[in-house]
Amino acid sequence: MEAVTRVSSTARAAGIVTVVVAALLGSAYVLGRSLVPDQPQRHATGVTTDADGPHYADQPPERPSAASPSPSPSPSANASQNAAGPTEAGQDGTGRDAGGDKLFGAHTGTGTARLALTFDDGPDPRYTPQVLATLREYDVKATFCVVGENAQDHPDLIQAIVADGHTLCNHSWHHDVTLGNRSADQIRADLVRTNEAIRAAVPDAPIVWYRQPGGAWTYPVVSVSQQLGMTPLHWSVDPSDWQAPGADKIASTVLAQARAGGVVLMHDAGGDRQGTVDALRRILPELSARYELEALPTDPT
């Protein structure tokens, strides 16, 4: 009987020890979890890649105003961009958009009666050569706003752009629409890195224009670009070709909105740009008949 009692007591003691150990382990786990910071959720960046290079979600839904330069535009919220219509270029090519919001001095026009065609986000090995060939066929010079990482990957296309007499424009290293909300040092490093990639391909080519991705202008990004000798460049006509609406839509929008002194925004990279390439063949004959088309000057001052 005494042996049975001892076994019962031992079992009870073992059970108590088990409960205590389990409680201690649970407390230790909870404490450990509280000391480990939560892992941030991953969010889409608006940039994907494929064999041809990066694809950019280009235009944010609105541009910052002078009263509120700091909010970060969302690269993925694209559908409502320019819903109010095209920007009208002032006589001096700078100043305000159609809604009256300041662009911190970014140029929306050429300042002359000439019309400028601009192509963003390249160079791209599939579409940039097609754009260059079409421009060459119609003897038109344009301005290419190039992304630093693409310039680094395709120096031969940067050389081809310059060889054909087109103007180069800095469009940031990685098409960062929030660049203007970073510190001045970060902005400067980004723009300098992009210029260095361009000049690695074409050492003597002037780079005197800067276009902020998405048109998300802020005072710091304008100020830094000017300190580096570049003039901030916006646009007055946006056919939203980054949304790939098709050649017919792109061509009809450009032809309807183009005005003397304007700056037309199009894309030769950042996604499927075949519609833009095809639209060019419909756009160039009529625009050439109506206006003198120019590459933006390399001495804008």
Q: Which residues are catalytic?
A: 120, 267
In angstroms, the CA 196 to CA 98 distance is 35
Burial degree of 219 (CB within 10 A; 0-12, 13-18, 19+): middle
Amino acid at 101: D
Preceding amide of 71 cis, omega within 30 = no
Cα radius of gyration rounded to whole Å, the chain:
28
Cα–Cα distances in angstroms (integers) from residue 224 to residues 18, 162, 209, 243, 244, in the given order: 66, 25, 12, 30, 32
In angstroms, the CA 206 to CA 195 distance is 10
- What distance separates the 2 farthest-apart alpha carbons in the chain? 115
Cα–Cα distances in angstroms (integers) from residue 140 to residues 4, 44, 115, 118, in the given order: 104, 38, 11, 11
Judged by DSSP in three states, 153 sits in: helix
Contact criterion met (CB below 8 Å) for 273 and 96: no
Burial degree of 83 (CB within 10 A; 0-12, 13-18, 19+): exposed
Judged by DSSP in three states, 190 sits in: helix
- Give the rounded distance of the alpha carbon of 88 from its chain centre: 22
Strand partners, 96: 102
